[in-house]
Amino acid sequence: MRLLWLSALACNGNAHSLLNYPGFQEWQEDFHWLYHPLLPSRYTFPEIEKGIEGVEVLIVDGTLEEGLIKNRLPYRELLLRYGDQAERIVTVGTCATFGGIFAQGGGGRSGLHFEGDEHLKGYERFWEKTVSLPGCPVQPEVLAGTLSIIRRRDPLPLDTLHRPKYFYAYTIHDGCTRNEYFEYKIDEHHFGTLEGCMFYDHGCQGTFTHGSCNKILWNGVNSKTRAGTPCLGCTEPDFPREGLWRTPKHMGIPARMPLGVPRRAYLGLAGIAKAFRIERFTRPLMEDEGG
């Protein structure tokens, strides 16, 4: 399958992230890069500007900016030309999907179909064929996996923002090693420890952020929340919100509830869980049960 990777305002993190895919060598046998910002490709960028044929999947990376010119042609012209040519369009990363961090750095900046959660109409004719792969950066398994599913023409169920369900139906909270502290409402957390949950004080957005970070694991080995960093919500339209390391509160309780959980339900469960004061969760994990 022939892929064309077009970067707008990017950090190149998505391109580098893909190189970490453990099965990269084998995976790549099924794909040809017409253009990729790092890897050997069939064409040079000026040739892409001149015009090529045969694009099957267009990969859009980076925040779009009105009037952006990378070399000679407006980026928009390239997008329209190759967007029409491609069977599918994949927006890779949060920048290309929702605008992301760089959308805050100047006017006229957005993702391909969204500015935050506002659905834009500028490329509406591509909406049906677009798949959104937000993440800052995207996990390599998510990008490689989605492209493979597209290539095999297998069904690819999407959510309302066009994120593939296979990867984004989960929340980051699923699989976090700090889960028990959340379940039993142990609201004390200190950095530099294995214990505790960052939901209550330190801004963790894992319970309402879609993605597979704690299911697939980053680089196959770990995740932010396992390493004591709050989930910053990087796969969601409002990334990056202000004050990423603090939990906004409403009457002393985190203002934002876990996905789909009514506040009343949360408060009810929290009350019961807290009442039990389970001793195990107050002890360091590495300490003896007797000690």
Partner 1 sequence: MAEVRLELIEKIEGEAQVRYHYEKDHIDFAEILFLTGRGIERILEGRDPWDALAINPRVCGICGHAHLIATVRALEDCYDDLQVSAKAKQIRELTLAFEVLQNHFKWFYLTILPLLELKAPMERVLEPSRLLGEMIALLAGQYPHNSYAIPGGISGEITPVELLGVRERHQRIRKHFQESVIHVDLEQFVRCDRIETMLEREGDLPRAMQRILDWGWERLGRSHDRFIVFGSNDLFEAGKSIGTRLRRHLDLRYLQESPIQGSRARRVLYRGRSYETGPLARAMLLKTPLTREAHRRYGDSLFSRILARVCEIPRLLRYTESLIGSIDLSEPAWVDPGPLPVEAEGVGIVEAARGSLIHQVRVGEGKIQKYRIVTPTQWNLGNGSREDPGVAQAALIGLRRGDPAELVFKSFDVCSVCTTK
Q: Which residues bind partner 1 (CB under 8 A)?
A: 7, 9-17, 19-20, 22, 24-25, 37-40, 44-46, 63, 65, 68-71, 101-102, 104-106, 136-137, 190-194, 213, 218-229, 232, 240, 242-246, 286
Q: Looking at beta carbons only, is 135 or 164 nearer to ligand SF4?
A: 135
Q: Looking at beta carbons only, is 30 or 84 nearer to partner 1?
A: 30
99 binds, among partner 1, ligand SF4, none (CB under 5 to 8 A by kind): none
Q: Looking at beta carbons only, is 137 or 254 nearer to partner 1?
A: 137
- 179 makes contact with ligand SF4 (CB under 6 A): yes
Q: How far is CA 11 from CA 76, 90, 122, 134, 150, in A?
A: 19, 17, 24, 14, 26
Contact partners, residue 286, CB within 8 Å, separation at least 6:
194
235 binds, among ligand SF4, partner 1, none (CB under 5 to 8 A by kind): ligand SF4
Region near ligand SF4 per CB under 6 A, out of 10-18, 75-83, 155-163, 206-214: 206-214
Q: Which of 21, 98, 199, 208 binds ligand SF4 (CB under 6 A)?
A: 199
Q: For the CB of residue 3, give the shortest distance to partner 1 in the complex, in Å.
A: 16
Q: Which residues bind ligand SF4 (CB under 6 A)?
A: 135-136, 172-173, 176, 178-179, 182, 197-199, 204, 206-207, 209, 211, 213, 223-225, 231-235
